[in-house]
Amino acid sequence: MFFRWDWLRPVLTAPIVPTLGPVHPDALTVDLFEDILRAADTEDFLPYDKDRRWGGKKDERVLRSDVVHQSEHTLIPALTRRGTVKVFAYGLPDSIVDEAAELAAKLAATHDVVHARVVRPLGPETTHPRGTRIQLKDFTAGPCPASDGPVRPVTNWPTAVQETFASFAETMAADGLAFLHTQMQAHRCGPVLAATVEDRIVGAIGPMEVRPDAIGCPQLMPQYFAVLPEARGRGLGRVLWRAAMRWGQSHGAAYQLLQTEVDSPSDRLCQSEGLASLGFTHTTSA
């Protein structure tokens, strides 16, 4: 075993694991970190990797020979196929950011890539946080309210309405909807929920899928989520989100993890819906 849990656990201020992303606090074990080291050799997906559903090869792998693991801090570098080095900096002193930036710049030069980043996990008690908030929706805490808006799976809308999804997806390509549309056309994903205005799709969330996590607990997988700018301000985002949560609970999910940009509309939505904040990640250029 490479990692010492008595060294690593005290500096895990937020439940995020390199190449895997956020994980449930109950699933945050030394085994996850050992697994990402083993996966670095094969470049295959781990059985519980959320990205496995898209197929192909894993986009990101840990640079295991460059991991720094010491009693007070741990630096775990990862390299993406698209040419970015990211160093995850686990440690309490602020000086760890400088050490991580130095390592990231060195590895970017070694691997001849342009981008070098430092990812700093921060605890939920962080004041004036920046970056991304990790949020938990616990489906075991109580029933999810029913969605009372014009939401149903895309395939349940009339054909003429379904056909408007293509233009909606293209408009919201920056939010991942164009990619999602290709997956839908290839029948490679679960249902996508859509909201309409005047027989035109103006918002969507999906795909809706429940899969086991590293300890076998069923989780609602992350979704793409977008509403056309001209359709915002009508509460459609909340209606879509509540419909998705209702779907997840009714299909046996125990929880969902979400990442939202701090103070963004989706962040404020999740906070107003009572989700628990598990911490933050702040990413900077090296």
Q: What is the pLDDT of residues 173-184, one digit of tens each?
A: 999 999 999 999
- Residue 170: which of 161, 184, 180, 183 has the closest Cα? 180
> Are 179 and 104 found together in one domain?
no
The whole-number average pLDDT for the span 46-67 is: 91
Separation CA 198–CA 164 (nearest Å) = 11
Confidence of residue 255 (pLDDT cuts 50, 70, 90): very high
In this structure, is residue 9 part of a structural domain? yes
> Are 190 and 238 found together in one domain?
yes
> Are 147 and 63 found together in one domain?
no
Give me Rg for the CA atoms of the chain.
Answer: 20
Confidence of residue 168 (pLDDT cuts 50, 70, 90): very high
Predicted structure pTM score: 0.92
Residue 229 preceded by cis peptide, ω within 30: no
> Are 154 and 126 found together in one domain?
no
Helix (H), strand (E), coil (C) string for 22-72: ECCHHHCCHHHHHHHHHHHHHCCCCCCCHHHHHCCCCCEEECHHHCEECCC
Q: Is-contact 42 59, C-beta < 8 A? A: no
Question: Which residue blocks in the chain are alpha helix, DSSP H?
Answer: 5-8, 30-42, 96-110, 159-162, 165-171, 177-185, 236-250, 265-272
pLDDT at position 44 = 86
Residue 207 is which amino acid? P
Confidence of residue 56 (pLDDT cuts 50, 70, 90): confident
Host domain of residue 207? 141-253
In this structure, is residue 262 part of a structural domain? no
* Token pair belonging to 130: 């920046």
Q: Is-contact 221 209, C-beta < 8 A? A: yes
Separation CA 176–CA 186 (nearest Å) = 16
* Token pair belonging to 257: 């993890």
In this structure, is residue 165 part of a structural domain? yes
In this structure, is residue 216 part of a structural domain? yes
In this structure, is residue 82 part of a structural domain? yes
pLDDT at position 38 = 92
In this structure, is residue 229 part of a structural domain? yes
> Are 120 and 11 found together in one domain?
yes
> Are 17 and 92 found together in one domain?
yes
3 state DSSP class of 122:
strand
pLDDT at position 1 = 85
3 state DSSP class of 274:
coil
* pLDDT digit string, tens, across residues 138-149: 999 999 988 778
Q: Which of 97, 131, 165 is the last residue of a domain?
A: 131
Q: Is-contact 77 87, C-beta < 8 A? A: yes
The pLDDT > 90 percentage for the chain reads: 87
The most distant pair of C-alpha atoms in the chain lies apart, rounded to whole Å, by: 61
DSSP for residue 244:
H
In this structure, is residue 120 part of a structural domain? yes
DSSP for residue 194:
E
pLDDT at position 93 = 82
